[in-house]
Structure 1
Amino acid sequence: MRAMLLVNPKATTTNARTRDVLIRALGAAVDLSVEETGYRGHAATLAATAHAKGFDAVAVLGGDGTINEAVNGLLNPVNGRVGSGGGGADERPGLIVIPGGSANVFARGLGLPNDPVQATGAVLEALREGRRRVVGLGQASWGEQSRYFTFCSGMGFDAEVIRAVEGLRGAGFRATPARYVTTMLRHYFMTDRRNPPMTLRGPGIPEVDGVFLAIICNTTPWTYIGDQPVSPTPWASFETGLDLLGLRRLGMAAILRTAQQIVGEPRSLPSGGHLTQLHDEAEFTLTASRPVAFQLDGDYLGEREQVTYRSVPAALQVLL
């Protein structure tokens, strides 16, 4: 097997020595070509060439942002039409995931260990046994643009928090779980909690007005606070369509009640008159009366007034 390994040298939970050990271990199992990412979007550019260059797999040592880029490259190959998906899952290189970020939500959602060394051991075992898992993805489209996501998207307050944390990272601070929590609490008092901007529509879905925040999930958990899973849509999975949790109130009581229901191991669906929920949907659209913050897989992508979400079943082969 020939594999292209994409290494993010700035991955937060690995150092040069660990990366060298992991590269040697993978190189002993497959014919490995190593590429370091140097700028935003670089992993997508490299992964898009994998099929044309004859690689059987693309491995990623990095966080969720690097994995998202690689997935988008795989589904938009340089020898295929942009947005075409580049054929079926069995027609494109498989994906190998080695977590190296601060949250590693996609890797953990797949059941991989959060430690990169242990995850590499699991991957090597899968390579020996020829194990592959086919997973579905989500796709978000706005204007003439679209992008795939592996585990989540969000519009509204959660994307505002991600925007703020990215600003802190740009100033040299690490994106730790504690920093996300403190940023969320601080930002809560800065956001507009009186005028809900979004409306939810979709084929066969009753229209819902007055949505402040929408979390769209392709699996569960949505994220982690340290080792604690956060599961706003506990029925979501890689084998079903997209799920959504929307908040129509942002008062402190509503936020605290929702937080109590979604943090920790999921027990049941969140409940409350301030919530709107979808499960296993193929398509829906969020329209906003004003530009709202927008994120995919924890990557802030600016402000949008309309985004259409679609489920893409059986889109990707993962070696695990």
Structure 2
Amino acid sequence: MKLLLVVNPTASSVTARRRVAVEDILAAGHELSVVVTERRDHATELARRAAREGVDVVVVLGGDGTINEAANGLAGSSTALGALPGGSTSVFARTLGFTNDLVVAAKQLTAALDAGSRRRVEMGTANGRRYLFNLGAGFDAEVVGHVEGGSLKSRLGQAAFVYSALVTWLSQEDRTKPHLSVKIAGEETTYGGSFVLCLNTNPYTYLGRRPLNVAPGTGFGTGLAVAVIRDVRLATLSKVMRCAFGDGHDVGRQPGVTLRTEVESVTITGEDPFPHQADGEYLGRVNTLEVGYESDCLDVVTPS
């Protein structure tokens, strides 16, 4: 089988020793080529070229942002995506069922390749860009932007997100007023929110080993789950987090939270340009987000 390994050398869990170990595992019984990303969206270019050249599987050794880039390059092709947990959180690989131990996950991946274990999955879309597991607008994306704006992530790992969430929350001038308007397809009501999550899969993310469950039951093939959190008062956020650290079934029952599942599309607009992120990658500020759902989009390798 012809494999291309796309390596993000700056990803949190990528070290020279681990990279060599992964390359050795993948090369056993397969025709392996290795490329290194050099800039933002480079993985999209590399994956798209690999699909044109008939590569069977593009394996990504990097974080969720690099995996997202590769997925955007492979969408619509017959070349499959192999996701390894090379980031600080590695939501997508873990959601698929891979262990968070990079070397063990590489062995799982080769076993899946040998068994032909893969599936065609759906992806979310936001203003034309595809995403694999979550899109966030407002407060959530502002936190991600704060993390990516400095060296916190490389120094603190996942703790950077906790620190940035606190800094971002303290900087909010008005924690009670919703700044976003959300229109869900098929509903007459327009909802107000301080932040919005559009999930293609559950969990929303992980904090250490613990998943944050926002929409249990949401996964590939179910449509999107949309959670609108009206404000960022401490009372609201603490209740949502408490539920999310559990099984997540009560998130949508909390005051100030609107949760819809099996959603095909949603429009998010802001009073002013608002931040957004996709799969943990900060994408800047926009006035409007048109969020959708694309079926039969991407082949992914799954643990056998």
- The TM-score with structure 1 as length reference comes to 0.90
Whether 2:165 is the aligned partner of 1:184: answer yes
Q: Aligned residue for 2:85? A: 99
1:176 Cα deviation from its structure 2 partner:
1.9
Contact 2:80 2:301 in 1 (8 A): yes
Report Cα offsets for 1:162-197 as digits up to 9, x if no partner.
11111132x774352222112211211212324312
Shift of 1:267: 4.5
The superposition leaves residues 54-90 of structure 1 with CA deviations (integer Å, 9 ceiling, x where unpaired) of 2111111111011000001112xxxxxxxxxx4xxxx
Aligned partners of 2:215 and 2:249 also within 8 Å: no
C-alpha contact (below 8 Å) 2:4/2:35 kept by paired residues? yes
**Aligned residue pair count:** 301
Residues 1:61 and 2:61 aligned together: yes
Question: Residues of 2 paired with 1:189 and 1:208: CA distance?
Answer: 28
Question: Counterpart of 1:289?
Answer: 271
Aligned-partner Cα distance in 1 for 2:122–2:43: 20
Closer, same or farther: CA 99–257 of 1 in aligned 2, 3 Å:
same
- State how 1:1-320 maps to structure 2 within 5 Å: 1-75=1-75, 86=76, 91-141=77-127, 146-169=128-151, 173-174=154-155, 176-191=157-172, 192-320=174-302
User: Which blocks of at least 5 consecutive residues in structure 1 are unaligned?
Assistant: 76-85
Q: What is the one-letter code of the residue matched to 2:68?
A: N
User: Which whole-Å CA distance do the structure 1 matches of 2:270 and 2:16 have between them?
Assistant: 44
Distance 1:255 1:266, change over 3 A: closer
Deviation readout 1:141-161 (Å, 9 max, x if unpaired):
1xxxx2100110100101111
CA deviation after TM superposition for structure 1 residue 139, in Å: 0.6
Mapped contact 2:12–2:154 kept (Cα < 8 A): no
Deviation at 1:23, TM superposition (A): 0.5
CA offset at residue 50 of structure 1?
1.2
Q: Secondary structure at the match of 1:29?
A: coil
- Shift, 1:253, TM fit: 1.0
What RMSD over aligned residues (CA atoms) do the two structures have, in Å? 1.6
**Which whole-Å deviations, capped at 9, do the CAs of 1:277-297 have from their partners, x for residues lacking one?**
110111111111111111111
Query: Residue by residue, what CA displacement relative to the aligned partner does 1:229-287 show, whole Å, maximum 9, x if unpaired?
Result: 11122232112111111111222111111111112443444312311111011111111
Deviations 1:179-218 (A, max 9, x none): 2112211211212324312111133123223211101111
| TM-aligned CA deviation for residue 127 of structure 1 | 1.4
Q: Judge conservation of contact 2:177–2:230 (CA < 8 Å) in 1.
A: no
Contact 1:154 1:296 in 2 (8 A): yes
Q: In 2, Cα distance between the equivalents of 1:69 and 1:151? A: 13
Counterpart of 1:51 in 2: which secondary structure?
Answer: helix
